[in-house]
Chain A
Amino acid sequence: MSNPTVQAEHLSKAFGHKQVLRDLSFNVMPGDVIGVLGKNGAGKTTLLELMLGFTPPSSGDIRVFGHESRQLPGAIKKRVGFVPQQDELLDSLVVSDQLNLIASFYPHWDKELVDQLCAAWDINVSARVKTMSVGERQKLSILLAFGQRPDLLVLDEPVASLDPLARRQFLEQLVELSTDASRAVVFSSHIVSDIERLANRIWILKEGRLYWHGELDALKESIVRLHVQATGALPERVDLPGLLSWRRQGSGATAIVKDWSQQSTQAFQEQFKCDVRIESLGLEEIFLELHR
Chain B
Amino acid sequence: MKAVLRLLYTYFAGTLTHRILSAVGLMVTIATYVLLRTQPQSTLLGAMAFLGAVSFYLGSSMMPLTFGRMARAQLSNLLPGGRVKLLVSALITVLLVALPMPVTLVSGLLVAIGPYGHPTPEQIAQFHRAIIETFWTTYSVVIVFCAWLYVALWFITSKRNTWGFLQGLIVIAVVLVAPTRNIVLPNSLMWWDLTQCAVTLASFAVLFLLWPRLRLLGQHWGLGTGSRDWPGKRSRVRGREVDLLLGTSNPWLLAVGQLVPVLLATRIGYYSASVWLFYLTIFSTVAGAIAGRAAERSRVLWLRGEWSTVQLFSRVERSFWRHNVCVLGILVILMVVIGRYRDLPVVLLATGLPLLVLGTVLSTYLGLMLTRGLRLAESVLAVAVMLALMAVAVLAARNADDLLTIVLLECGLAVMALALRYAARNRWAHIDWMQCRVDRALIGRSAA
Contacts and interface: CB of A to CB of B under 8 A. Distances in A.
Given A80-B78, A91-B439, A97 B14 contact: yes
Interface residues of A, number: 31
Nearest to B6: A104
Nearest to B13: A97
Contacts of A16: 222, 225
B80 A54 contact: no
Most chain B CB within a 10 A radius of its CB, from A49, A82, A88: A88
Contacts of A55: 216
A75 B5 CA distance: 20
A105 B85 contact: yes
A190 interface: no
Contacts of B441: 91
Given A88-B69, A91-B439, A91-B441, A82 B3 contact: no
B42 interface: no
Interface string B423-444: 0000000000000000111001
A74 interface: yes
Interface string A69-105: 0001011011010101011101111000100111011
A105 B82 contact: yes
B66 interface: yes
A52 interface: yes
A105 B74 contact: no
A54 B74 CA distance: 7
Interface residues of B, number: 32
Q: Identify whether the interface residues of B are mostly helix, strand, loop, or mixed.
A: helix
A52 B74 CA distance: 9
B2 interface: yes
Q: Identify whether the interface residues of A are mostly helix, strand, loop, or mixed.
A: loop
A49 B373 CA distance: 34
B44 interface: no
Contacts of B73: 84, 88
Given A84-B75, A88-B73, A91-B440, A101 B6 contact: yes
Interface in A124-168: 130, 137
Contacts of B66: 90, 92
B10 A86 contact: no
B15 A92 contact: yes
Nearest to B73: A88
A188 to B, nearest CB: 15
A86 B447 CA distance: 10
A88 B75 contact: yes
B7 A82 contact: no
Interface string B63-81: 0011001100111011111
Contacts of B440: 87, 91, 137
B77 A54 contact: yes
4 A-B pairs with least C-beta separation? A104-B6, A88-B73, A74-B80, A104-B3
5 contacts: A88-B73, A92-B62, A100-B6, A104-B5, A105-B85
Given A80-B78, A106-B80, 15 more contacts: A53-B77, A54-B74, A72-B78, A88-B70, A88-B73, A90-B10, A90-B14, A90-B69, A91-B439, A92-B14, A92-B65, A92-B66, A93-B15, A105-B80, A130-B373
